[in-house]
Amino acid sequence: MQNVGVALEHVRAWFNYPSWPEAYDDAFASDASTSVSFLPYLIGERSPWMNPNARGGWLGLDDTRGKLMRAAFESVVFALRAGLDAIRANGTPLNTMLLAGGGSIDPRWRQLLADGLQAGLHAVDCPNAATRGLAWRHLSAGHWRIDDLAALKSSTALVATPHANAQLDERHARFIDLYRRVETWF
């Protein structure tokens, strides 16, 4: 997805949460809403719809910023899952994934990701995962030697396993349906 962190950071700022822990606490203290959805496409989207004109926002409203923040978290999961489902539809099983970055810290967020993506999540024990990813790219391009590979290895730990969640699956189906219904608006 093109802008996971950007979308969530914007929503956090719009609702004036001073910190991420406060945004997580408020969002996960709220029951998931059955009336509000969020499309996280603030700057278009590449996967799986390849729609640079896609735009985001809430559809339906609710009475608390916690529920709106929760809808934003769920929408990011649903958008990521749409891309994963396209990969899975082509025969590539994705049952486990690596998780890195600031969003990998909160256990409630990790569990929502695991449940929504239907994949076990292994957190990368590396504060500079993006830099290491760039190093892997240089390695694959032949700029470094294979002997350098050991220096790039990070350890991982299983941090979330997926649980069946029928309500989350229903909200995911609603998200996909809503995107398809408003796609022509873009």
The predicted pLDDT at position 137 comes to 64
How is 89-146 classified by DSSP, letter by letter? Answer: HTT----EEEE-SGGGS-HHHHHHHHHHHTSEEEEE--TTHHHHHHHHHHHHTTSS-G
For position 36, what pLDDT does the model report? 87
What is the pLDDT, as a whole number, of residue 5?
77
User: Can you list the domains of the chain with their CATH numbers?
Assistant: 4-185 (3.30.420.40)
Segments of the chain with pLDDT less than 70 = 1-2, 62, 126-154
Q: What is the pLDDT of residue 146?
A: 63
- Tens of pLDDT along 19-40? 999 999 999 998 777 788 999 9
Predicted pLDDT at 123? 87
pLDDT of residue 15: 94
